[in-house]
Amino acid sequence: MTLAFANTRPLLAAYHISQGLVQAMPPHTSPLLQLPHFTPQIVRAIRERAVDATQSVQSFMELSDTKRRAFAIGDGLLSDKQFSAAMKVAAQLPFAKIEKAFFKVTGEKCLTPGSLIQLVVKLRIIPPGSAGVPEVNELDLEDVDPKEGDLDALHGRKKKKVKTADGKTVTLPAEVPVQPPLAHAPYFARDHSPRWRVFLAENKSGKIAVPPFSFSTFDKPLFKGDGSPTYNVQTLKMQFQAPPQVGNYPFTMHLVCDSYVGLDSTVDVVMAVEEMSRATEIEEEEDISEPEEGEFCVGAPVLDVRPPMLILLAS
């Protein structure tokens, strides 16, 4: 019903109710209550010592282990065993950190009115309190268009080519999508696999610009066999039609997990829709800058044919 009126706040409220139902938590309470053995009394005791620490699981896990133990363990609070169990669950919460988000049109260098646009979201699952998180590889943040005529890649049927022991190249079947671990929801009636929803909203009007897309699988593993995170860069894509008019369209992208409280992410993005003539200009520039096979342009000026910036990300 919230989608019918396209209002952002009621939609987010509906998602937050879903999170509370999965975690058996009342509205407007501390996200720490979704950790095992944490009670309102324990949350109040922690709040008295560090107010900000109870705002989210991330803020609590940012404290040193010594402080967390001092705040949560003691008479009337948690035991060492209970504290360890809670920290184990916190270290598995799938907090999605957005590394990059941008708009593109497959095979084109700019966005044009009415074109079929993709919003590409690059993210990593970084659980609260993670230490030694590696720097992201910039190459993993790119989204290379498939080669012309590669129908499998165009339709999302990824295939991997590997070399056998005798040096021959073979093509393996498409990779199976990776399911995230089941949500830690001991009071929910059945096993629940987390889902993430992505949508675009306009801040000024408070309206939903692009309805939510749901994602329940990833292209790479989230955790290793020992339960530690892989920090792999994951790619989510949603496709929709560009506005019919030229202009810059600022949006806020919302990424919401339906299974946990306080793991939402947002980022500001700008969709720059340009005239059709601009796409033609870029093609002509590329044709001029690329010599024919066998030709060498010595001393020729280098043309800057980088595509125009399509998006501005919040730092």
Fold entry, domain 96-128+178-289: Immunoglobulin-like (2.60.40)
pLDDT tens digits for 201-259? 998 999 999 999 999 999 999 999 998 999 999 999 999 999 999 999 999 999 999 99
Which one, of 297, 246, 269, lies nearest residue 110 by Cα? Answer: 246
Of the chain, the end-to-end C-alpha distance in Å amounts to 34
Do residues 36 and 27 touch, judged by C-beta distance below 8 A?
no
What is the location of CATH 2.60.40.150 in the chain? Answer: 96-128+178-289
**Partners of residue 241 on adjacent β-strands:** 116
Do residues 239 and 104 touch, judged by C-beta distance below 8 A?
no
**Distances from the Cα of 193 to the Cα of 30, 223, 257, 295, angstroms:** 23, 15, 11, 57
pLDDT for residue 290: 54
Signed CA dihedral, 165, 168, 169, 173: sign only? negative
Burial of 202-230, coded b for 16+ CB within 10 Å and e otherwise, reads beeeeebbbebbebeebebebbeeeeebe
pLDDT for residue 251: 97
Report the pLDDT averaged over residues 188-213: 95
Banded model confidence at residue 297, pLDDT cuts 50, 70, 90: very low
d(CA 188, CA 183) in angstroms, rounded, equals: 10
Q: How many CB atoms lie within 10 A of CB 71?
A: 21
Q: Does 19 have pLDDT greater than 50?
A: yes
pLDDT for residue 150: 54
